[in-house]
Amino acid sequence: MGIRKNDILQGTLVLLILKSLATNPRLHGYAITSHVQRVSENLLRVEEGSLYPALHRMEQEGWVRADWGKTEKNRDARFYSLTAAGRKQLAHEQESWARLTEGVARVIRYA
Amino acid sequence: MGIRKNDILQGTLVLLILKSLATNPRLHGYAITSHVQRVSENLLRVEEGSLYPALHRMEQEGWVRADWGKTEKNRDARFYSLTAAGRKQLAHEQESWARLTEGVARVIRYA
DNA sequence: TATGCATAACTAGCTTAACTAACGGTTCGA
DNA sequence: TCGAACCGTTAGTTAAGCTAGTTATGCATA
């Protein structure tokens, strides 16, 4: 119930992925996980069982594009990049996120 | 997908209710709705179909206590108040919320 | 040579919160 | 007396994220 520790709130995951790809074009899934974890300084952790389904959904939606390639460790990996639609979506999600957090902040601040 | 407009993110609702009851002891459901909407300055809107089930769950969890009474408009209404467990839960949820938003903020800020 | 670890991707099945879209009843003012 | 605001309830749906696996390969090292 409520906010569970180590739970990424519904909706947040997509935002994090889009933003990661806006910052680093062409990341593979595994790299997205570590990027989010590193940049958030361990506050956030993306589970693989959440990540890959999300990436597939986002590809369906046309927000990301995928192609196979080699990592610098010489492994096969699917690299994702943002599409124009993805960039637009990122803007929307960022705005929604700002509105939500501002709303919650007001309720919390209100003495 | 992602953050839908007018969706209260999963987990946020409980936090909002707990906080509303911490600020205003003894609110009825309808009043919680209007309180959140007013205090958030219309950024947030709590749907009744979400609110009442949430209140029932929270009562089951022992976070709130309910009793029937009369409103100042002379209507029957179920008044909710925080329990000790509810206050403790509020502290947890507020901390989780802070951790999540800080994590997301770092990912977003990261250039 | 084998053995193990880190890397990389994927999925079935479950849980659960929040929503939609109703419905029922009451009080009060126009 | 009629409608609007007030107050509560619920069945059924959706969908996102999690758990707990599986598969596979490159590389280091014992």
- pLDDT category at A28 given cuts 50, 70, 90 is very high
Distance from CA of A9 to the nearest CA of B (A): 6
Find the nucleotide nearest A52 (Cα to C1′). C10
A63 part of a folded domain = yes
A4 part of a folded domain = no
Q: What is the pLDDT of residue B62?
A: 97
B43 part of a folded domain = yes
Q: What is the pLDDT of residue A5?
A: 65
Averaged pLDDT for residues A69-89: 97
A91 part of a folded domain = yes
B51 part of a folded domain = yes
Q: What is the CATH number of the domain that holds A41?
A: 1.10.10.10
Are A14 and B3 an interchain contact pair (Cβ–Cβ within 8 Å)? yes
A82 touches B at CB < 8 Å: no
Residue A1: is its pLDDT beyond 80? Answer: no
Range of the domain at A79: 12-106
Q: What is the pLDDT of residue B6?
A: 62
Say how many domains are in chain A: 1
Residue B3: is its pLDDT beyond 70? Answer: no
Residue B1: is its pLDDT beyond 70? Answer: no
A22 part of a folded domain = yes
- pLDDT category at B40 given cuts 50, 70, 90 is very high
CA B69 → CA A24, A61, B45, B54, B56, distances in Å?
A: 57, 50, 25, 20, 17
B57 part of a folded domain = yes
Q: Cα separation of A20 and A27, whole Å?
A: 8
Averaged pLDDT for residues B19-28: 97
Averaged pLDDT for residues B69-93: 96
A2 part of a folded domain = no
